């Protein structure tokens, strides 16, 4: 995904979940559409778009 322009940010504060961002998106964009908090949210999105099929 990194080669496709996706980025990730380390957790901040007490959070333990990484933040995953689509190319060109920021943390202020739409959660679960452009920004995914935690691996579970990201995997749910990837399953929805059938990226692994």
53 pLDDT higher than 60:
no
Here the tokens at position 52 are: 């692994």
Whose structure tokens read 């959070």?
15
Confidence (pLDDT) at 52: 61
Grade residue 43 by pLDDT with cuts at 50, 70 and 90.
very high
Please tell me the predicted confidence (pLDDT) of residue 50. 79
What is the DSSP code string of 36-52? EESHHHHHHHHHHTTTT
Rounded to whole angstroms, how far apart are CA atoms 44 and 49? Answer: 9
**12 φ, ψ (degrees, to nearest 5):** -125, 160
pLDDT tens per residue, range 17-41: 999 999 999 999 999 999 999 999 9
pTM score, whole prediction: 0.84
Domain boundaries, the chain: 2-48
């Amino acid at each position: 995904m990194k080669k496709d322009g996706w980025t990730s940010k380390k957790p901040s504060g007490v959070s333990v979940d990484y933040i995953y961002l689509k190319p060109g998106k920021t943390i202020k964009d739409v959660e679960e559409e452009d920004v995914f908090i935690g691996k579970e949210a990201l995997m749910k999105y990837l399953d929805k778009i059938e990226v692994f099929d």
